Amino acid sequence: MTFGNQTVTLVKRAPNTTADDLGTYPMVETEVNMPGCTHRPLRPEGLRGAGMARAEEEPELGVSVATVWWRTTVPIASYSPALRASVLGDDAQGIPRIKASDQLRYNNETFIIITEPEPHPDFAMTGFKLTLTSERQSIGS
């Protein structure tokens, strides 16, 4: 079962296992395309920054502003086992689980996940769908 016709990309970051020339471990991005999603604004009327700056005001130079909170519903029950493991994480494969601070990309925009994933069980199965809350941020110029 799908909840929408949108494909949202989950972006996970983890330190590289190999150090670079300076001895640091750069972050590596892993992207997973999640089809059948619904990605929509949470509150279209509530355009406020999440404790940073109010979106109604023009942000100052370099100030980060959260313009809209977003909800993304992911139909994990309809995914193949491999795609489901990529989205949810599988400790045996070393794939990190979805966490706050991971990102979603949709329509050439980046959204930062701000809460832990919310699983929604169904009567027949434990992992029916998953809801992610994210925000789009912009920086004043």
- pLDDT for 52 equals 46
| Domain presence at residue 61 | no
- pLDDT for 71 equals 85
| Domain presence at residue 139 | no
Question: Contacts by 78-83 with C-beta closer than 8 Å and gap 24+?
Answer: 78/1, 78/2, 78/36, 79/34, 83/32, 83/34
Residues of the chain with pLDDT under 50: 44-55, 91-94
Measured from the Cβ of residue 83, the count of other Cβ atoms closer than 10 Å reads 15
- pLDDT for 11 equals 93
pTM above 0.75, yes or no: no
| Domain presence at residue 31 | yes
- pLDDT for 4 equals 79
| Domain presence at residue 54 | no
| Domain presence at residue 126 | yes
Structural domain span for residue 117 = 6-16+23-44+71-132
